[in-house]
């Protein structure tokens, strides 16, 4: 879901029907502390500890897709928070959210980080998702990548250094806390990065989806 930014390329800021409704300023980034109670955090962390000995090194993350944990003891929690997180996003933005994406579990290894990037979901061209890995290339293949997408994240632990979510264009930094919910559009109005995780792994659950009423056209 992430793409590196070409430091010599500045994307144009475009306005569409979703951006016009929810805005493009820092107030559009929603942070809700203690969204997940401790008992559910503990259940997810017990699940996480099954992978504590995985030494795979990555600069970003590795993911356990929700669709792959069906018929496991924790499957009901995945479904519960998939629904809760989508409902909260709908409440925060007063817009309907698609229901065709499942919740995923992310493991962010020690040393992982993210440079400022934009998130993309394109249901018809995902086979070329990695083309170029630069915004200038993204725009060729996804001309309306700048809206429609919404990122919904819950942090599960904070026993590490770093791991701060930051939005350079918005001058916003968010220090993760267990149970914290963060919602923001994944478009180029909200370029975001994550500082290096140090000390121990960082765990999150994320729902990447789209606004149902997004129109693939620019406003005048």
Distances (CA, A) of 137 to 7, 119, 129: 13, 14, 10
Tell me the percentage of the chain whose pLDDT exceeds 70: 70
210 pLDDT tier (thresholds 50, 70, 90) = confident
N-to-C CA span, the chain = 29
Strands 114-117 and 202-210, how do they pair?
Answer: unpaired
Q: Residue 194: how many CB atoms within 10 A of its CB?
A: 24
102 pLDDT tier (thresholds 50, 70, 90) = confident
Integer Cα distance of 154 and 203 in angstroms: 9
Q: Which of 170, 174, 169 is nearest to 194 (CA)?
A: 174
Tell me the percentage of the chain whose pLDDT exceeds 90: 45
What are the tens digits of pLDDT across the range 132-181?
A: 455 666 666 665 555 678 999 999 999 999 999 999 999 999 999 999 99
**112, 193 in Cβ contact below 8 A?**
no
What are the tens digits of pLDDT across the range 69-87?
A: 777 778 899 999 999 999 9
Strands 165-167 and 192-194, how do they pair?
Answer: antiparallel
Query: What pTM did the predictor assign?
Result: 0.84
Domains parsed from the chain with CATH numbers: 23-117+148-210 (2.60.120.620)
207 pLDDT tier (thresholds 50, 70, 90) = very high
Which range, of 108-122, 162-176, 197-211, averages the lowest pLDDT? 108-122
Q: Judge whether residue 57 has pLDDT over 70.
A: no
pLDDT of the residue at 4: 43
Which range, of 54-63, 92-101, 120-129, averages the lowest pLDDT? 120-129
């Amino acid at each position: 879901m992430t793409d590196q930014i070409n430091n010599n390329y500045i994307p144009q800021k475009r306005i569409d029907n979703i951006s016009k409704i929810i805005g493009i300023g820092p107030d559009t980034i929603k942070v809700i502390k203690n969204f997940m109670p401790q008992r559910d955090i503990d259940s997810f962390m017990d699940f996480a500890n099954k992978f504590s000995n995985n030494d795979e090194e990555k600069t970003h993350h590795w993911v356990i897709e929700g669709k792959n944990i069906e018929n496991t003891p924790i499957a009901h929690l995945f479904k519960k928070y998939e629904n809760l997180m989508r409902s909260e996003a709908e409440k925060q933005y007063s817009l309907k959210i698609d229901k065709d994406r499942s919740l995923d579990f992310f493991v962010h290894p020690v040393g992982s980080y993210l440079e400022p990037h934009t998130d993309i979901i394109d249901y018809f061209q995902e086979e070329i998702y990695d083309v170029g890995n630069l915004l200038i290339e993204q725009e060729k293949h996804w001309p309306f990548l700048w809206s429609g997408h919404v990122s919904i994240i819950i942090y599960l632990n904070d026993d590490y250094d770093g791991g701060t979510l930051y939005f350079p264009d918005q001058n916003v930094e968010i220090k993760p806390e267990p149970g914290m919910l963060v919602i923001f559009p994944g478009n180029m109005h909200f370029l975001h990065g994550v500082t290096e995780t140090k000390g121990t792994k960082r765990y999150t659950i994320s729902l990447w989806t789209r606004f149902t009423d997004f129109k693939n056209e620019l406003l005048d």
